[in-house]
């Protein structure tokens, strides 16, 4: 059966990316990429300073990360580039051993990320509770705002009205038209005003020299020895973990904003590939950038890989071709964009009095602890880990009280039946041993576990302890009602956990 030319053409149109089928999508993605590229320049330069490298190194990293992840990543429209978290991790290595070791660590971190991705580390994201996610988002918004404070301190007075004007443009311009992203309009207008009026304010050019050529691939300038590997491996592993955690959390956030699903395993492996490419290109490595991603997805409305690719491509074009023009952009314009991103990112509903009254105290505590840890350490990964561990402890404490023990003695006094219900694990099983009347019970004791489930060795050990105490008094114990998984675990471990 032959397929008609019209049917084949329709299938080809369906298989093509959205931006090829709809000019409006193409325009939106292109303009979004341009806005992100402009916002990336000062941040990449700032992160270069943190890592102790030349500004061009951070810009090269942002270029190669964005372009590569646009192709191999698992989350469309998410921006990856040089980040402060990565800079903080590998900065000490650069200062102590030199730039060559930093590049080697970036490449090795990419290898670690590929291995971790292949092993399914992305599946661990299911254990991050919503309260931690909300804390992550709110702490990110706070960090984005705090990062702008130095740009608003000890600066000429015209900076403040320029920031206010930029914010006003981004609030009111979308009411006129959404054809052009408001942040791009704000940057263009404020640049034109400062240049035309000769207003002396800090500019992008004050942050450092922009590169004049593309990065040249090459091998890291280090001795290829075991000593080098042992030196860079700890930094590489830390960078891999921090980068994956921030990237996967950002991907999860974009999933919620866009109401779409992403391939977290592909994203994990893609981050590794992007870091390897970046390392061989002489960059400082990176991961997903939550702030720039919010500009791309939430402010500019981008939804495809094109915006991510163009953000990296435009970054190099702006630096190499339009360097003098970009250098004249006032920092006030970019600060206004990031402040708007901060306010748009913060989950204001989460701190509304009505919401706080309805939320469980434990959930509020987890959210506050997550925010406090991130703001105190300026490390999103630390906050997520501490928040998740806190949530698990609160959950375990709550579930531990759900296990109950009730007893019924036969009328003739020949046996007693204990009905145990709930989840038996390390937290709930600790109190199990004290719930039985060893001295007063009759000669036969039945422990009915029909309404319970054994989850771990602590529960098996607790049941063994109960059985042993009864046997020491010459009484017999029968355990009944085990479901198949519980019976299998109990059968394998019962009697094998006592100390010898």
- Of how many residues is the chain composed? 500
Tokens matching residue 388: 């998740």
pLDDT of res. 345: 77
- Cα–Cα distance measured from residue 107 to residue 232, given in angstroms and rounded to the nearest whole number: 10
- Cα–Cα distance measured from residue 369 to residue 256, given in angstroms and rounded to the nearest whole number: 22
Q: Residue 500: which residues within 8 A CB-CB, separation 6 or more?
A: none
Residue 120, by phi and psi: left (phi above 0), alpha (psi -120 to 50) or beta? left
CA distances (Å), 87 to each of 72, 82, 213, in order? 23, 8, 23
CA 282 vs. chain centroid, Å, equals 25
Which residue shows structure tokens 């971190």? 109
Mean pLDDT by 10 residues, the chain (500 residues): 56 58 84 90 79 86 96 94 84 90 96 94 82 85 84 92 94 84 86 93 83 86 93 91 88 90 94 96 92 87 92 92 86 86 84 89 92 84 86 82 83 87 84 88 92 91 92 92 93 74
3-state secondary structure of 220: coil
pLDDT of res. 15: 54
pLDDT of res. 17: 65
Please answer whether residues 490 and 463 qualify as being in contact, where contact means their C-beta atoms are separated by less than 8 angstroms.
yes
3-state secondary structure of 203: strand
pLDDT of res. 184: 82
Please answer whether residues 391 and 366 qualify as being in contact, where contact means their C-beta atoms are separated by less than 8 angstroms.
yes
Phi, psi of 406 (to 5 degrees): -125, 150
pLDDT of res. 500: 40
Outline where 418-499 has alpha helix (H): 426-429, 457-472, 484-493
Q: Residue 318: which residues within 8 A CB-CB, separation 6 or more?
A: 37, 38, 41, 326
User: What number of other Cβ atoms are within 10 A of residue 372's Cβ?
Assistant: 15
Cα-Cα-Cα-Cα dihedral sign, residues 260, 265, 270, 271: positive
Closest Cα partner for 90 from 223, 221, 236?
236
């Amino acid at each position: 059966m032959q397929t008609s030319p019209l049917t084949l053409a329709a299938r080809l149109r369906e298989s093509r990316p959205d931006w090829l089928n709809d000019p409006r999508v193409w325009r939106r993605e292109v303009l979004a990429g341009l806005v992100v590229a402009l916002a990336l320049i000062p941040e990449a330069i700032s992160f270069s300073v943190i890592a102790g490298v030349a500004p061009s190194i951070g810009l090269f990293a942002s270029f190669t990360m964005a372009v590569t992840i646009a192709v191999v990543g698992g989350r469309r429209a998410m921006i990856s580039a040089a980040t402060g978290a990565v800079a903080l991790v590998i900065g000490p290595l650069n200062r102590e051993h030199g730039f060559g070791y930093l590049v080697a660590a970036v490449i090795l971190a990419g290898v670690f990320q590929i291995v971790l991705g292949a092993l399914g580390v992305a599946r661990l994201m299911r254990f991050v509770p919503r309260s931690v996610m909300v804390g992550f988002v709110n702490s990110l918004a706070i960090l984005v705002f705090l990062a702008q404070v130095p740009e608003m301190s000890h600066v000429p007075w015209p900076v403040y009205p320029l920031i206010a004007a930029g914010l006003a443009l981004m609030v009111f311009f979308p009411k006129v038209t959404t054809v052009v992203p408001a942040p791009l309009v704000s940057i263009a207008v404020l640049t034109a005003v400062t240049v035309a009026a000769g207003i002396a304010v800090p500019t992008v050019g004050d942050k450092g020299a922009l590169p004049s050529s593309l990065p040249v691939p090459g091998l890291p300038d280090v001795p290829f020895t075991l000593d080098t590997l042992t030196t860079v491996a700890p930094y590489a592993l830390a960078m891999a973990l921090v980068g994956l955690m921030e990237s996967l959390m950002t991907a999860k956030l974009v999933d919620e904003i866009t109401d779409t699903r992403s391939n977290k395993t592909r994203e994990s492996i893609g981050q590794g590939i992007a870091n390897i490419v970046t390392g061989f290109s002489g960059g400082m490595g990176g991961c997903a950038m939550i702030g720039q991603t919010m500009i791309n997805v939430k402010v500019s409305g981008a939804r495809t890989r094109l915006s991510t690719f163009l953000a990296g491509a435009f970054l190099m074009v702006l630096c190499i071709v339009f360097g003098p023009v970009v250098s004249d952009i006032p920092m006030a314009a970019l600060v206004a964009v990031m402040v708007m991103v901060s306010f748009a990112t913060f989950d204001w509903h989460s701190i509304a009095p009505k919401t706080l009254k309805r939320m469980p105290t434990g959930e509020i505590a987890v959210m506050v602890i997550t925010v406090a840890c991130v703001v105190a350490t300026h490390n999103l990964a630390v906050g997520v880990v501490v928040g998740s561990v806190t949530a698990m402890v609160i959950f375990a404490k709550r579930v531990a009280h759900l296990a109950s023990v009730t007893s019924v003695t036969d009328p003739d006094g020949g046996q007693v039946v204990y009905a145990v219900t709930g989840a038996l694990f390390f937290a709930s099983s600790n109190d199990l041993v004290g719930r039985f009347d060893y001295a007063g019970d009759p000669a036969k004791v039945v422990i009915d576990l029909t309404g319970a489930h054994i989850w771990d060795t602590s529960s098996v050990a607790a049941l063994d302890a109960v059985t042993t105490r009864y046997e020491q008094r010459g009484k017999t114990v029968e355990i009944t009602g085990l479901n198949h998984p519980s019976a299998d675990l109990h059968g394998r471990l019962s009697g094998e956990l006592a100390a010898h």
